[in-house]
Structure 1
Amino acid sequence: MENKKSMHSNDRLMKSIEKEVSKFSQHFMSNAKWIKLIDHLVDNMDEIKKIQFKRIQDDTIGELYLDENSSFEFDYWNTAFEGINSFGGWLQYKEIEYLSFPKLIDRNTEQNLEKISAVIQTIGQFHLETDENELRLICYKK
């Protein structure tokens, strides 16, 4: 049961997110697009070994913990992830500036960025940027 303090805290968080979102001139994602993307990533987890993200509120890089057992209305919802990120707790989709798929996972493991890009592009149009080290799915641009 939520109390007044937790409701006010959530309101402050949402206002803070909206303030940061307003600093970007280009918005490439919607909640519906996020759900399609996550569903598709979960269905193709054999190709995806690591997903990082950058929040709009700061320069901190986090990690999403999706796997083949991640499911809608258990791990992710209409507007947010619940606890399947390195920060714990809720992570609103609208507070993610970009997703990053690094090529090098560790000394012995790499991700195939071309295959991940192909997986993402089967869903629809996304703003992707790539170089030899990572693939980025851009959610906002200034």
Structure 2
Amino acid sequence: MRTKKALRYDEQKIKEIDSAISKFSQPLMSNSKWVKLIKQIVDNADEIKKILFKKVQNNKNGELYLDSESIFEFDYWQTGFEGNNSFNDWLEYREIEYLIFPKVIDSKTNQDLDRIFTLIKEVGEFYLELDENELKLVCYKI
């Protein structure tokens, strides 16, 4: 049973997300595309080592924690992540403005951005921007 305080928090969060989303002209992702993308990421976790994201509500960047051990068959995976991010909070797909796959993970490890680009394209059509430093998957158009 949810308390009134928890319900008010949820309502406020929804209002903040809705307000932030209204500034964009076009969403480029759906929940079903997210689920397919996450499955591809988990299935290829040995090649996709680091994923950053930006929330629509603010300029904070976070990191998604998805690896080969991630289990996403639960109902909540249909609309968002639970605790699989550096904010340690529920993260709805619709509040993610973009994902970034950085080339450099640390001084000894790089990601193959061309390979990640190909893996994402195997899932479907996405708005992707690729340069020598990162691959960006855009979720909203301005």
TM-score interval for Structure 1 and Structure 2 normalised by the shorter chain: over 0.9
1:1-142 aligned within 5 A: 1-74=1-74, 77-142=77-142
DSSP-derived class of the 1:77 partner: helix
Aligned partner letter, 1:48: I
Could you tell me the percent identity over the aligned residues?
57
Kept after mapping to 2: 8 A contact 1:75/1:81: no
Structure 1 residue runs of 4 or more that deviate by more than 6 Å after TM superposition: none
* Distance change >3 Å, CA 18–CA 29, structure 1 → 2: same
Post-superposition shift, 1:76?
A: 5.6
Residue 34 of structure 1: how far off its partner (Å) = 0.4
Cα distance per residue 1:46-66 (max 9 Å; x no partner)? 111100001111111100000
RMSD between aligned alpha carbons? 1.3
Q: TM-score, normalised by structure 2?
A: 0.96
Counterpart secondary structure, 1:34? helix
Aligned length, in residue pairs: 142
2: CA distance, partners of 1:26 / 1:86: 27
Shift of 1:77: 1.3
Unmatched 5+ stretches in structure 1: none
Q: Normalising to structure 1: TM-score of the pair?
A: 0.96
Assess if the C-alpha contact under 8 Å between 1:75 and 1:84 holds in 2.
no
- Structure 1 residue 8 displacement after superposition: 1.3
User: Structure 2: any 5+ residue segments left out of the alignment?
Assistant: none
* Structure with greater helix share of residues: 2
For residues 113 and 60 of structure 1, the distance between their equivalents in structure 2, rounded to whole angstroms, comes to 23
Q: 1:98·1:140 contact (CA, 8 Å) conserved in 2?
A: yes
